Amino acid sequence: MGSPEVGDCDGVLRHVWVYLDKETDPPTCAELEAHLEDCPSCQRVVQFDRKFKLLVRRCADAGPVPEARVEALRVRLVARLRSQRPSHPL
């Protein structure tokens, strides 16, 4: 079953890595893709994350990365991306 919170940019950011790993269920995947069709900001995040994940795969050791390290890096990247997001005048 799909996730109703996916419809906004924050929802996309919460699901982007699972989406890129092709681990989302079909309804959630459809919601993400529908949002991405209309949101250039989220498209940039997905493109960046896709390239980042490919780079990490090429540079990483063959062993597993501790989940805490992955999550800490994800949190830092999301914070950096949010701080660079242009503000929209009201």
Q: 13-49, pLDDT tens digit by residue?
A: 889 999 999 999 999 999 999 999 999 999 999 999 9
pLDDT of residue 61: 72
SS3 9: helix
| Distance, CA of 61 to CA of 73 (rounded, Å) | 16
CB-CB contact of 20 with 53 (8 Å): yes
Q: Give residue 79's identity as a one-letter amino acid code.
A: A
| Distance, CA of 90 to CA of 88 (rounded, Å) | 6
Neighbours of 56 (CB within 10 A): 12
% residues pLDDT > 90 (the chain)? 46
